[in-house]
A and B are shown apart, each in its own frame.
Chain A
Amino acid sequence: MTAATHLGWVDRHGRLHVSEAPRPGGEPEAVTVAQAGWPGVDGLLHPRPDPSAAHALPDGSGTLVLCDLAAPDGTPSPWCTRSLLADVIDRAGRRSLMVIAAAEIEFFLLDPEEDRPVFENIEQYGIVAGEPYEPVLRRIRDLRSSGVPVVASNCEYGGGQFEVNLRHGHALPAADEIILLRHWAREIAEDEGYRISFDAKPWADNSGSGMHFHQSLWDGERNLFWDEPEHLSPQGEAYLAGLLEAMPEMTMLGSPSGRAYLRRDDFSFCPTSACWGGDNRTVAVRVIAEREPVTRIEQRDASSDANPYLALAAQVAAGLDGLDAGLSPPAMVTGNAYGRDDLPPLPSSLTEALARFAVSDRARGLLGEEVHSKLVEFAVADCASDETSERSWF
């Protein structure tokens, strides 16, 4: 079999679209902006392969190269979410800083006939409960051979729910890896006779699925966030403050569906207020500062069905804004953050998130006027329908 090259581009929702690469000398087939997830927007987008984002296909039959979507004149398109994240990372690069990120992502395995989780009991970290699904989970861990650096998997706090941890690395590849993981995990699950769901809240009576991003800034070999155990550096504190300040108005980028807000509930382990803490699972942002190599900030509010480029771009931009402005974070929360009325609440519905996002100059500045306006338009339509009724493709 001849090794084939495939090209992949990502739509607004964070879905990967794959096609065969053109013959040598040919051009990748253009896609319409509408096909890229922006209905109502005219124009074409041209896939531009990123040679640094080449991944061996899991079956060994060839290579998949991720693409940016460029405007017809070859310049980066505002409709390309991957390019948006790259722009934000460049902003750090101009300060000679590297953005390092790692993701944890949760999902459910489903019995395709019953449309229910493969097991019903909560079995968090359960070794025995996970064993029957090892044919799926092992192949997901094996995605390392395709450049998706899976470190580990475990059962999560929902019947039939699992979590996969990815190794930290540069932020753009870290987001790419989420796209690839979701795409290939779906193929693997179906190949093994299951279905997989990255929906934020597939069932009202079960846990929701989150996508946590761990992030840090590095100046060469120096972790800019490190100061001493359990303390962030002043730069780390400023970045943290930026995350917290922006979180309510940028929530929609990490929680794009109405269903994502069904997981935002007190005592759900999903944050409900823009607050931070140390070793605390009730806060929105955890600070993990034990040793320099592992010191990082974990933002915990995004859902598994988010577009990771949008979610991470919003977070990193907010952190960099905090750094630029020299912000100071509010007091650390110790103990239970749920039910506290002295903490800034996070949106509890898509309608609330939209209201904050629609008037956000920060969001407009990050995305550009056109993209911001389109996202508002789509969310208005989602809110006009029953915003939580449809389980998403994810």
Chain B
Amino acid sequence: MESALSLEELRDEVSRGSIDTVRVCFSDHYGMLRGRRLVGEVYVEDPQAPQAYCDGALVWDVHCDIFEETDYSNFRTGYPDLIAHPDLGSLRRCGWSERSAMVLSRITDPHGVGSPLDPRGLLSRAVERAGSGEMALSLSLRVGRGTLGPDWTPTPAPEFARLWAEGLEASAISFDALDYDEGDGRVLLSLCAMEPVAAADALVAARSAAREIGLVSAITVTTLGRIGGGDDERMAVEPAGGFPGDSRSLSRLADLALLCRPLPLGWPAPAPAVEGAVLAQACANPYLAAAAAVIAAAPGDAGSEHPPPETYEEAIDRLAGAAWAVDWLGEMFAHDTVELARREEGLRREATGGQEAATGWDVERYGEVG
């Protein structure tokens, strides 16, 4: 993968002081960037130096709450380290953040064994196995002024689209379109087609950029749908040549619905694939949504014969029962994804009674996911 910023360029920028911070990042289960901000001079001394983090970061829930039902990391294991190995191919400027660059990481345990719960690693393995080509990812968000709440109606924030576009361009994140509808506050970003891991890297970075721009500019940015009973915000994954959409790939995709719709809010779900693209929640983890598209389209057994899940509980049961998918996802990842979702479903049902529209509880719990 050719990086958007070469190591030589980074070294030059660090020596000139135009970059002083390098974020060594990884994706958690929800596609949120985690990591440290390293002093630029320190990073360039040894750009591939591994960084150790608590491995609970790959299993906790949307609020970093400890998830004890997993065998991967808990108090019984002592929460050992995960090791983040910077992937220099993912190096890029953070054009939306002053004097910053970022690099995404390959995650292993301290013995160098790839983590079964690393979303980026999972996509990478799926792409290699399926021999997938390029894909184009897109994302819709809502932006505006005012405090996010269940009935939020955004007042316009036209500068957001400009700031986001400038930030993405300065980060060498290639996009075909970035459109802002002042009426409903919706921004739609369509990235150019690229190799799947690079595409997901770009979308993770772009979504973080949107969040960060919002935070520092006092603009509300949300991936959360069903605000005021409205539509979902969505992420679309469009493989080159289109998602096949035949009954076999659709049945497999239905079994993997939880990867595309990780939250209990947003059900019943719209069609999982339209016009050659897989549709996911905007708050979905781009690595996992892309992996779902890759895996569903790959040769192999058909999925369940049942129609696509209509509820979150059905989506959980579908993944739990999809023995074929374990071969792709790994037993631990499939198990933990199911258990994490079951816990989330229980929490939401208890708090909201499972209603379809976003509630104040949803805004508080999920408003910053993705």
Where the two chains meet, the residues of A that have a C-beta atom closer than 8 Å to any C-beta of B are 121-132, 134, 137-138, 141-142, 144, 150-154, 157, 165, 167, 267, 269, 277-283, 290, 334-338
Contacts and interface: CB of A to CB of B under 8 A. Distances in A.
A337 B79 CA distance: 11
B57 A336 contact: no
24 contacts: A121-B63, A121-B368, A122-B64, A124-B34, A127-B102, A127-B208, A128-B211, A130-B37, A131-B215, A134-B97, A137-B37, A151-B39, A151-B42, A152-B36, A153-B36, A154-B37, A279-B81, A280-B80, A281-B54, A283-B78, A290-B110, A334-B78, A335-B77, A337-B78
B64 A153 contact: no
A277 B78 contact: yes
Contacts of A137: 37
B81 A125 contact: no
Contact of A152 (B37, B54, B77, B211): B37
A127 B25 contact: yes
A154 B78 contact: no
Q: Which of B20, B75, B77, B78 has the most CB of A within 10 A?
A: B78
Contacts of B63: 121-122
Given A125-B57, A141-B39, A154-B37, A281 B215 contact: no
B173 to A, nearest CB: 16
A132 B78 contact: no
Contacts of A132: 215-216
A128 B79 contact: no
Interface in B248-277: none
Pairs of residues from A and B, 10 with the lowest C-beta to C-beta distance, nearest first: A280-B78, A125-B34, A279-B80, A127-B33, A131-B212, A122-B64, A281-B79, A154-B36, A336-B75, A152-B36
Nearest to B53: A125
A144 B80 contact: no
A141 B21 contact: yes
B57 A338 contact: no
B194 to A, nearest CB: 22
A152 B38 contact: yes
A272 B36 CA distance: 28
Q: Which of A130, A131, A144, A267 has the most CB of B within 10 A?
A: A131
Given A128-B32, A269-B79, A335-B77, 9 more contacts: A129-B368, A131-B212, A134-B97, A134-B98, A142-B20, A152-B37, A267-B75, A277-B78, A279-B78
Given A281-B79, A282-B78, A282-B79, A138 B20 contact: yes
B120 interface: no
B212 A123 contact: no
B41 interface: yes
B76 A125 contact: no
Contacts, number: 108
Contacts of B33: 126-128
A121 B33 CA distance: 15
A127 B368 CA distance: 12
Contacts of B38: 151-152
Interface string B35-62: 1111101100000000001100100000
B142 interface: no
Contacts of B212: 128, 131
A99 B313 CA distance: 57
Q: Which of A134, A137, A282 has the most CB of B within 10 A?
A: A134
Nearest to B100: A134
B358 to A, nearest CB: 18
Contact of A150 (B25, B39, B64, B77): B39
A350 to B, nearest CB: 26
B23 interface: yes
A336 B78 contact: yes
Q: Which of B37, B215, B368 has the most CB of A within 10 A?
A: B37
B208 A128 contact: yes
A336 B80 CA distance: 11
Interface of B: 20-21, 23, 25, 32-39, 41-42, 53-54, 57, 63-66, 75-81, 97-99, 102, 110, 208, 211-212, 215-216, 368
Nearest to B365: A121
A353 to B, nearest CB: 25
A282 B74 CA distance: 10
Q: Which of A130, A150, A152, A336 has the most CB of B within 10 A?
A: A152
A67 B199 CA distance: 55
A168 to B, nearest CB: 12
Contacts of B76: 335-336
Contacts of A269: 79
Nearest to A135: B98
Q: Which of B34, B81, B99, B208 has the most CB of A within 10 A?
A: B34
Contacts of A152: 36-39, 42
Nearest to B99: A138
A123 B368 CA distance: 11
Contacts of B54: 124, 281
Nearest to B79: A281
Contacts of B77: 335
A202 to B, nearest CB: 19
Contacts of A121: 63-64, 368
A334 B75 CA distance: 10
Contacts of B21: 134, 138, 141
Contacts of A144: 39, 41
A201 B33 CA distance: 27
Q: Which of B63, B64, B81, B97 has the most CB of A within 10 A?
A: B64
Contacts of A126: 32-34
A278 B64 CA distance: 24
Nearest to B97: A131
A150 B21 CA distance: 12
Nearest to A336: B75
Contacts of B98: 134, 138
Given A144-B41, A151-B39, A281 B57 contact: no
Contacts of A165: 36
A125 B79 contact: no
A246 to B, nearest CB: 23
Contacts of B57: 124-125
Contact of B37 (A123, A153, A267, A337): A153
A338 B97 contact: no
A208 to B, nearest CB: 16
Nearest to A269: B79
Nearest to A150: B39
B206 to A, nearest CB: 12
A127 B34 contact: yes
A142 B41 CA distance: 11
B130 to A, nearest CB: 30
A336 to B, nearest CB: 4
B300 to A, nearest CB: 35
A124 B78 contact: no
